[in-house]
Structure 1
Amino acid sequence: MTVASSRLIDIHSTPYYHITCRCVRRAFLCGVDSYTGKDYEHRRSWIEDKLFDLTSVFAIDVAAYAVMSNHYHLVLRIDNEQAQSWSTREVLERWARLFNGSLMAQRYLAGALLSEAELEVLSELVEDYRERLMSISWLMRILNESIARQANREDNCTGKFFEGRFKSQALLDEAALLSCMAYVDLNPVRAKMATTPEASDYTSIQARIQQDVEKALLPFIGNERQEQPKGIAFDLTDYLELVDWSGRAIRHSKRGSIPAKLPPILERLNLSEDDWLLQAQHFEKRFKRAAGHWYNLSQLAHRLGQHWLHGKSFKPKTT
């Protein structure tokens, strides 16, 4: 049974989501089109620049990303607490960075005195804007429309550039989050676009290694503690080691190449060596609408009125 994306993106279930968006009509984001011979490498920066420009406005953080030749991956976190903390003025100012907004909103920002009735209407408008500014659907709509316009101008054509709807997977627990991030960060290595994570251009793993402050990624903050800052409750060094280890194990495709001692983070996540590699290598095939421990998948399925969600019994095809 098909489930609307609006039901799957539910901050009460999880704030984390894996987003995938693909091009159509032989469109390329980057690299050389073997059919025309034209180089589109420069387009990867379009996605990267626009993404971080938008997330500086939205209450949405980027945990991981990878821009490939004809698609891109994002791991996003909805920050409901941040959105609810915004004042009326801050919501309107943020929305004004995206659109002109209503005349009433423009008058309010200009310092005009509004009547009680106008303030009541404005209050409803602000709450609508607040919801949109923490909506992955609105973020993706603006991101893709902007890139499509640039690409269409460059290609001197009209029509769709991206598929009509992005793919969304809810990440229901820490294991799902980290394995999905590793899957995304290793995409260029798996596609033979790069030999190592640090050489993978236009990815979050390279941005973290290079400490690129222009890329405002959701930080790793270490172990959970009281009054902790916003971020992923693991050490960055552990994550980098895990991605490097996973990439080498997956790339060699040889059981004997896997180190005998697993990275400490796997033990903390209660994941076996085989289960971690299964998720990191086949994430999109193993999970469909949501990802996580079978119990969390069962709970979400129950809330959606379904018997089960794909992912519990996945076994990759062997060649």
Structure 2
Amino acid sequence: MTQSRASLISLVDTPYYHCISRCVRRAFLCGEDNYSGKNYSHRRQWMMNRIRQLSDIFAIDVCAYSIMSNHYHLVLHANEAEISACSDEEVCRRWYQLYSGSEIVSRWRKGELTCAGQIEVALDIISKWRHRLLDISWFMRALNEFIARKANAEDNCKGRFWEGRFKSQALLDEKALLTCMAYVDLNPVRAKMSESVETSEFTSIFERIHSKCSHDEALHHHDNSKPLFGFLAAECHTPQEGIPYALLDYLELVDWTGRAIREDKRGVISSQLPSLLSTLGLESDTWLSLAVSFGKDYHGAVGSLEELTLFAEHTGRCWVSGQNKLSCMLH
């Protein structure tokens, strides 16, 4: 049975979510379709540009991404502090970049409303927009609908482009977050599309390593775009939001993992284990198993039993199952 999005997303429990969308039937998102002989690699740039545009507009940060041939992964962070800091005027400015507005809100912005009742109606509409700009479902909708229309226009066809709604997975603690991010960043390496993370274009790990967008075109068009959600060293005590680990430790861990999961690369694996494994309290074999199978073994939510129990209560779910190497999962 299809579950409501309210049963999958609860910002009370976590702002972090792993989202996946896959193309329907033989539709290709990007890359080369061996069946038709057509190459759709340019669509990856569509995805990059749209994701960056939406991240600038929505109060949603991108922690990790991977754009594959017929599907993509995003790890998103809903930033309540960012949207709370936005004035009503800023909310309107953001909303109008994507959608047509409201006549009564336009009049409010011009200072033309004098009736208290009309002003209240306008502010209620703006409040709804504020909520939607923090909503992962609205973010994904704005991404998928845009890409579907653009791809269908290029293919001169109509109909469904994506396999139904996007799938989402709540990441309830730091172990789940970092494991999922690594799983996403290693997609091209696991699929043997890239030799290493350094050459895995259209992934967040490539962008973090090279400190630039995957293509110069994206950089040219998005000079002032919001950067990827940042890493903060564990000892950092500033109020700045971010992932509470050092970026270099994460890069070391993902690079080591990428070499280890490629059987043809075992000769160049460092014998020294990444320090972040000890910080997370994970054995190397456990970590490698999770880096390969995270997306297959977990559904709905990932976290400790206590965290999952609370998540189930807040989302109207009634069972927790699947004790596993990392923690538990919620179906």
TM-score by length of 1: 0.92
Q: Tell me the equivalent position of 1:280.
A: 291
Q: Deviations over 1:161-201 (max 9, x none)?
A: 11111010000111110110100000011111111111111
Is this contact kept in 2: 1:32–1:40, CA < 8 A?
Answer: yes
Deviation at 1:227, TM superposition (A): 2.8
Provide the rounded CA distance (Å) in 1 between the counterparts of 2:262 and 2:62.
Answer: 26
- Partner of 2:65, secondary structure, is strand
User: 1:246 maps to which residue?
Assistant: 257
Residue of structure 2 equivalent to 1:317: none
Given that residues 18 and 73 in structure 1 are in contact (C-alpha distance below 8 angstroms), is that contact kept between their aligned partners in structure 2? yes
Q: Which runs of 5+ in 2 are unaligned?
A: 214-218, 220-224, 327-331
What is the CA–CA distance in structure 2 between the aligned matches of 1:2 and 1:302, rounded to whole Å? 19
Is the 8 Å Cα contact of residues 294 and 312 (structure 1) preserved in structure 2?
Answer: no
Return the offset for 1:291: 1.5
1: CA distance, partners of 2:102 / 2:251: 46
Mapped contact 2:16–2:170 kept (Cα < 8 A): yes
1:154-173 alignment, distance < 5 Å? 154-173=154-173
Deviation at 1:48, TM superposition (A): 0.9
309 and 60 in structure 1: CA distance in 2 versus 1, 3 angstrom threshold: farther
Contact 1:220 1:234 (C-alpha < 8 Å) held by counterparts: yes
Instruction: Compute the displacement of 1:150 (Å).
Output: 0.6
Counterpart AA for 2:94: R
| 1:123-145 per-position Cα deviation (integer Å, ceiling 9, x unaligned) | 21111101100001001111111
> Size of the alignment, in residue pairs?
314
Deviates more, 1:291-300 or 1:119-128: 291-300
Contact residue 175 and residue 280 of structure 2 kept, 8 A: yes
Q: Which moved more, 1:153-162 or 1:212-221?
A: 212-221
Whichever residue aligns with residue 287 of structure 1, its letter is: Y
- Native 8 Å contact 1:290 1:309 kept in 2: no
Identical counterparts, % of pairs = 49
Residue 300 in structure 1 maps to residue 282 in structure 2: no
Instruction: Decide whether the 8 Å contact of 2:113 with 2:119 is kept in 1.
Output: no
Contact 1:287 1:311 (C-alpha < 8 Å) held by counterparts: no
Residue 40 of structure 2 corresponds to 40
In the alignment, the residues of structure 2 paired with residue 206 and residue 227 of structure 1 have an alpha-carbon distance, to the nearest angstrom, of: 27
For 1:236, the equivalent position in structure 2 comes to: 247
* Structure 2: distance between partners of 1:63 and 1:56: 14
- With normalisation by structure 2, the TM-score equals 0.89
Gap runs ≥5 in structure 1:
315-319
Greater CA drift, 143-152 or 283-292: 283-292
